[in-house]
């Protein structure tokens, strides 16, 4: 897939305020500081499309990016260790849950996992929740360029092994790096193939 046009369309605090559900959407979600903005910029080959913050957890709304005027990337708030008030964290949880469960044009959630970090309970729990609620998703390991040691290189395998304690088989997995561009073509090809199979306004 060639991305010819990518435009930020706005940030929306609730599902009800999001743009009309008429085009396919692909949601990016993961723990805080997993590299969502960096990956989005790399996929779209735009350095400044999504703002990259030095402080994790800066996404506080549902951010929409229109791609080729035909589908959306949707950047959801991260979950994890970012310093937030309990009230704000609860609102994030409601926002994320409602979007993932009730957005009719969501084609797939791209669950980002830092390839350099061992299995985390929050990642495993969130992925299992997606499965229990039949939300389609793929696994996207990020920051693969930083896998320098033999120990760190084992992390993706360890995470998959932990997930397979709960799953008979895992969905598609992509290894990506915003620094090197690894996985960009494969992930965009997956989205293109999914779009070609999409029936408007249906999961």
Q: What is the pLDDT of residue 51?
A: 73
Q: Is residue 157 one of the residues assigned to a domain?
A: yes
pTM, to two decimals: 0.89
Q: Is residue 162 one of the residues assigned to a domain?
A: yes
Q: Is residue 200 one of the residues assigned to a domain?
A: no
**Spatial distance between the Cα atoms of 82 and 58, rounded to a whole number of angstroms:** 8
**Spatial distance between the Cα atoms of 106 and 64, rounded to a whole number of angstroms:** 12
User: Which residues of the chain form beta strands (DSSP E)?
Assistant: 6-12, 25-30, 62-67, 71-75, 106-114, 137-142, 173-175
Q: Is residue 1 one of the residues assigned to a domain?
A: no
Split into its structural domains, the chain has a count of 1
Q: What is the pLDDT of residue 95?
A: 86
Q: Is residue 201 one of the residues assigned to a domain?
A: no
Q: Is residue 199 one of the residues assigned to a domain?
A: no
For the chain of 203 residues, list the mean pLDDT of each consecutive stretch of 10.
94 93 96 91 92 57 95 88 46 81 96 95 92 96 92 92 95 96 97 84 47
Q: Is residue 180 one of the residues assigned to a domain?
A: yes
| 115 HSE (CA, 13 A, CB side) | 23
CA dihedral 78, 79, 84, 90 (to 10 degrees): 110
In CATH, what number is assigned to the domain containing residue 52? Answer: 3.40.50.300
For residue 55, what are its two tokens? 């402080």
Domain residues for the domain of 21 are 6-194
The structure tokens 């996404």 sit at: 59
Q: What is the pLDDT of residue 16?
A: 93
Q: Is residue 202 one of the residues assigned to a domain?
A: no
Q: What is the pLDDT of residue 157?
A: 96
């Amino acid at each position: 897939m060639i991305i010819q046009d990518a435009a930020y369309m706005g940030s929306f605090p609730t599902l009800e305020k999001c743009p009309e559900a008429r085009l396919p959407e692909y949601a990016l979600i993961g723990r805080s500081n997993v590299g969502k903005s960096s990956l989005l910029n790399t996929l779209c080959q735009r350095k400044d499309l999504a703002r990259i913050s030095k402080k994790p957890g800066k996404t506080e709304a549902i951010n929409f990016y229109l791609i080729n005027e035909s589908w959306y990337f949707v950047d959801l708030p991260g979950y994890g260790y970012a310093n937030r008030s309990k009230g704000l964290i609860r609102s994030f949880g409601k926002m994320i849950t409602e979007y993932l469960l009730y957005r009719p044009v969501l084609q797939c959630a791209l669950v980002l996992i830092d390839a350099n970090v061992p299995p985390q309970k929050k990642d495993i729990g969130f992925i299992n929740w997606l499965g229990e609620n039949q939300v389609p998703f793929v696994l996207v390991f990020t920051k693969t360029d930083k896998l320098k040691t033999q120990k760190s290189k084992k992390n993706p395998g360890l995470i998959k092994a932990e997930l397979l304690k709960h799953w008979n088989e895992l969905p598609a997995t992509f290894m990506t790096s915003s620094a090197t561009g690894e996985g960009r073509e494969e992930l965009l090809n997956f989205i293109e193939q999914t779009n070609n199979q999409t029936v408007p306004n249906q999961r």
